[in-house]
Amino acid sequence: MQFRSQHEAPFVVHRELRAWTGDDGGGQHFGMRRPRVLFLCTHNSARSQIAEAFLRRCAGDRFEVYSAGLEPTDVHPLAKKVMEEIGFDMSGHQPKDLKQFLGKTHFGYLITVCARAESECPIFPGASIRLHWPIEDPTVFQGTEEEELNKFREIRDQIDDRIKLWVRETAHHRAVETT
């Protein structure tokens, strides 16, 4: 490949690198685009909403974060409550249908957080990397009000730990790719 000047090559390589990583959109971050991340579960009522909130807070400057469901329902009140306990306001979180993204938005990462979404999700051509995190559904747990609240806390903490680990892993992989 020939360039008119030595200053053109880095721009072309940079653009090709973005194409290679599958990143076609998102906000600007130090002149680079942030990869979009979609958390997917069946109802977009608890796990995917919690994951979206944690990733936004933990690395929202590095990722553009979304969540959706195959059959969206209202955000579960206990999901809102356990997140509020640790300083998250989820009053603005609304369930979203996967259909609003299919064929319209490219995601660097599609992360399913339940077995049903993993098995029933249609082929998602708009995702570069697909991951599955099998996380128990706290909405189906039955017990006393306190037991149910504790189950939501347990799942919240699992998701928090998984998000933090994944952010460290992706930061490491990105650092290795750029060296």
* pLDDT tens digits, one per residue of 24-76: 444 444 446 899 999 999 999 999 999 999 999 999 999 999 999 999 999 99
Number of Cβ atoms within 10 Å of the Cβ of 169: 10
Asked whether residue 127 is domain-assigned, the answer is yes
Residue with the larger pLDDT of the pair 92 and 2: 92
CATH code of residue 149: 3.40.50.2300
Q: Is residue 140 part of a domain?
A: yes
Q: Which domain holds residue 96?
A: 24-178
Task: With respect to residue 29, please indicate whether it lies within any of the assigned structural domains.
Answer: yes
Residue 4 lies in a domain: no
One of 121, 127, 159, 163 is an active-site residue; which one?
A: 121
Does any domain span residue 6? no
Q: pLDDT tens digits for 103-157? A: 888 999 999 999 888 888 767 777 889 999 999 999 999 999 999 999 999 999 9
Is 35 part of a structural domain of the chain?
A: yes
Q: pLDDT for 161-179, tens place per residue?
A: 999 999 999 886 655 554 5
* Active-site hit among 41, 68, 135, 155: 41
Q: Tell me, yes or no, whether 10 lies in a domain.
A: no
Q: How does strand 28-29 pair with strand 32-33?
A: antiparallel
Q: Is 121 a catalytic residue?
A: yes
Domain tally for the chain? 1
Is pLDDT of 99 > 80?
A: yes
Q: Which helix (H) or strand (E) holds 159?
A: helix 145-178
Task: Based on the residue annotation, tell me whether 58 is a catalytic residue of this protein.
Answer: no
